[in-house]
Amino acid sequence: MPNIVALVKMVPDLVEELEINDSGTGLDRDWLRVIINEFDNHAVEQAIIIKERDGGEVTVIAPEAEGVEDMLFTTAAKGADRMVKLSHDDFEEGVNNHALARAFAEKAKEYQPDLILTGVQANDDLDGPVGPLVAEYLGMPYLGYICGVKIEDGKALVCKEYPGGLTAQMEVSLPAVLGIQAGEEPPRYVAISKVRQMMKTAEIDEHETDELDPDGGIAVNRMYLPEDAGRAEMIEGDEDEIAAKLIEIFKEVGAL
């Protein structure tokens, strides 16, 4: 029965307005709202699907961030067996993926995983995604862009995405790290009452990360919002005026 570890991080919620910090080299974290990385959510789903099919245990590991406990309890409500929070003063202000991957690797290996799943990438990655770094730090093979996983005879048979809907079937020896693009099913919903119940009954293991080593990431000279170059012609007005203008445009391109 496979031991599965899912690695999860919280990333900026892109629905909110993003701002640059005073030094001009990073995001302003004071007002930043963070949410689970979309693809990590798919990785958790895939981990639980494998557990439901093949048995085993699912451990979810995440670094400290605002809202991370709620996120972890949600994964428990979905079916994860163990929740681990990594803590370090620097996590809240953001660390690069090389530092995070070293911390993930150190903790993940304690669970002697057959499979480590994480999202294929995250929206704030600047020094590569976490998955392949963790794989190499643990000496495991890595495959990303994964959209399905079957475990057979000590190996994983995976579906890997290529452009245009083409997929490859690849075989990888275990233990391995996989970067999940989409789970076999969309992430499931759980009732908030179930999450609340977990908050009362389940416990999060807290693990103090000793030292964060960012080596391998590159220093950012400058971070900025994209310039409004070649911006769209904005159509203003109330609903009816905009609708009328749209109809003109549709006629102009021959759609009406």
Binding site for ligand FAD (CB under 6 A): 14, 120-121, 145, 181
> Segment 17-76, which members bind other proteins (CB under 8 A)?
17-18, 20, 27, 38, 42
Q: Tell me if 125 sits within 8 A of 49, measured CB to CB.
A: no
Question: Between vectors from CA 212 to CA 208 and to CA 217, what angle results, nearest 5°?
Answer: 150
> Segment 233-252, which members bind other proteins (CB under 8 A)?
233-235, 239-240, 242-244, 246-247, 249-251
Q: Which does 216 bind (CB under 5 to 8 A by kind): ligand FAD, other proteins, none?
A: other proteins
By C-beta, is 42 or 98 nearer to ligand FAD?
42
Minimum distance between the CB of residue 196 and ligand FAD, rounded to whole angstroms? 27
Minimum distance between the CB of residue 13 and ligand FAD, rounded to whole angstroms? 9
Among 89, 191, 193, 226, binds other proteins (CB under 8 A): 226
Q: Residue 240 burial by CB count (10 A; 0-12/13-18/19+): exposed, middle or buried? A: exposed
By C-beta, is 55 or 224 nearer to other proteins?
224
Minimum distance between the CB of residue 180 and other proteins, rounded to whole angstroms? 11
By C-beta, is 48 or 198 nearer to other proteins?
48
Minimum distance between the CB of residue 47 and other proteins, rounded to whole angstroms? 17
Q: 124: closest CA among 240, 33, 230, 231?
A: 33
Q: Residue 23 burial by CB count (10 A; 0-12/13-18/19+): exposed, middle or buried? A: exposed
- Which backbone phi and psi does 108 adopt, to 5 degrees? -60, -35
Q: 61: closest CA among 44, 45, 79, 84?
A: 84
**What angle, rounded to 10 degrees, do the helices at 130-137 and 97-108 form?**
50
Q: Which amino acid is at 214?
A: P
How many residues lie near other proteins (CB under 8 A)? 87
Minimum distance between the CB of residue 129 and ligand FAD, rounded to whole angstroms? 9
Question: Is residue 106 within the footprint of other proteins (CB under 8 A)?
Answer: no
Eight-state DSSP code of residue 32? -
